[in-house]
Amino acid sequence: MDLELFLMQLFSGLALGAILVMVALGLTIIFGMLGIVNFAHGALFMVGAYAGLWVASLTGSFWWALLIAPIAVGAFGMLVERVLIRPLYKRTPDDPLLLTFGLGYVLVEAVRITFGTDGIPFSAPESLQGVVDLGIGYFPLYRLFVLGVVAVILVLLWVALEKTRFGLVVRAGARDPLIMRVLGVDVSRLWLLVFGLGVGLTALGGVLAAPMRNVSPEMGTLVLAEAFVVTVIGGMGSLLGAVVAGLLVGVAVSMTALFAPEMATIVMFGLMALILLVRPQGLFGRPGVGA
């Protein structure tokens, strides 16, 4: 095997990993801050793609879709938090899990009824079509663009959570909501914002994925599984973990594809099983969280 193919495969893996990071971010943020396992994650990803499709068909512009759809779906997420999830906080963790599980089904059916069960075309904008010569081989321009967007989002998230007062409050709220309440912080408003942020990121992932994969009501099913794998490997609730695990899984899948492509999906779950055996809290997880 020549070096060029190997490097190209490595790069493809990192690019795929970046998409997985994007897919897992929303899930891990909501779990890390609110302790809710959001089973509607895949469905919200799909809703994001359809929202993007809808905005793009109204405005005729991919860029508006990229901006408006995540905000709109994030706002919908805040509505869900306020109306459906909030009454369940005082009950066992199973209740929000069951609720989001059911919500996922409702969303998929709602989209099937509204947009039909068939796939719908969604193309990358003209300016992002075509391939780029990386020196080691050709790569689609659009996937490079997605890599860039993911990098920007990660930097923004890091700054927001680590360097701002908002981030400080959010992190403290995740550690000990009771003390935060005693200190006079409105924790419920905080959770509303975090849930909205998580859902908005998921929807952004959906809009970004739409021009690469096709848009269909079932597109979120596998995404939910992938997001879980990445989150478990990285450590439930860990942002850094999601990034490292996403890239790791992407490279693992890509390298497997080189030798035994039919094993590419299994290797993801194999990696997860291995991590769970060796380090149950995940690569960057705190022991006791999510175990």
Partner 1 sequence: MTDRKDGLTFSVSRRTLLAGMGAGIGVLAMPAIVRAQAETVRIGFPTPLTGPFGAEAKDQVRSAELAVKLINDKGGIAGRQVELLVRDDKLNAGEAATRTLELIEKDKVHAVVGALSSAVQLAVNEVTRARNMLYVSISQSDTINEVKDFSRYTFHEALNPHMTTAAVAKATFKKGSKVAFLVADYAYGHEMLRGFKRAAAAIGAEVVGEILHPFGAPDYSTLMPRIRSMKPDILAICNFGRDQANAIKQANDFGLKKQMQIVVPVLLHNQRIAVAPDVFEGVVGGANYYWELENSVPTAKAFNDAFRKMYGGAIPTDYGAYGFTGVTALLLGMQKAGGTDTDKVIAALQELKYDVAKGPQYFRKCDHQAVQSVLVLRSKAKADMKGADDLFEIVANDPGSEDMLRSCAELGFPT
Residues engaged in binding partner 1 (CB under 8 A): 2, 4-5, 8-9, 12-13, 15-16, 19, 117-121, 123, 130-131, 137-140, 142-143, 212-214, 216, 218-219, 222-223, 253-254, 257-258, 261-262, 264-266
Min separation Cβ 1 and partner 1, Å: 8
d(CA 151, CA 25): 12
In degrees to the nearest 10, what's the CA dihedral of 23, 26, 31, 32? Answer: 110
Closer Cβ to partner 1, 81 or 226, answer by number: 226
Residue identified by tokens 């905000």 is: 71
DSSP 210: T
Q: Which is nearer to partner 1, 115 or 158 (CB)?
A: 115
Of 197 and 245, which CB lies nearer to partner 1 in the complex structure? 245
Q: At what angle do helices 165-175 and 187-209 cross, to 10 degrees?
A: 110
Specify whether the backbone of 133 is left (phi greater than 0), alpha (psi in -120 to 50) or beta: beta
Closest contact distance (angstroms) between CB of 140 and partner 1 is 4
Min separation Cβ 164 and partner 1, Å: 34
> Are 4 and 137 in contact, with CB atoms under 8 Å apart?
yes
C-beta of 56: minimal distance to partner 1 in Å? 13
Q: Which residues contact 148 (CB under 8 A, 6 or more apart)?
A: none
Smallest gap from Cβ 182 to partner 1, in A, equals 47
Bridge partner residues of 140 (DSSP): 131
Which residue, 117 or 164, is less far from partner 1 as judged by CB?
117
Number of Cα atoms under 13 Å in the Cβ half of residue 202: 33
* Residue number, 88 or 257, with CB nearest to partner 1: 257
Q: Which amino acid is at 92?
A: T
Instruction: CB nearer to partner 1: give 42 or 241.
Output: 42
Nearer CB in complex with partner 1: 93/261:
261
Q: What angle do CA 224, 252, 234 make, to 5 degrees?
A: 55
Quote the least distance from Cβ 42 to partner 1, whole Å.
Answer: 12
User: Tokens 């897992």, residue?
Assistant: 24
Q: Least CB distance from residue 64 to partner 1, whole Å? A: 19
Nearer to partner 1, 137 or 280 (CB): 137
- Minimum distance, C-beta of residue 258 to partner 1, in the bound complex (Å): 6
106 and 114 in contact (C-beta within 8 Å)?
A: no
Rounded to whole angstroms, the Cα distance separating 28 from 227 reads: 8
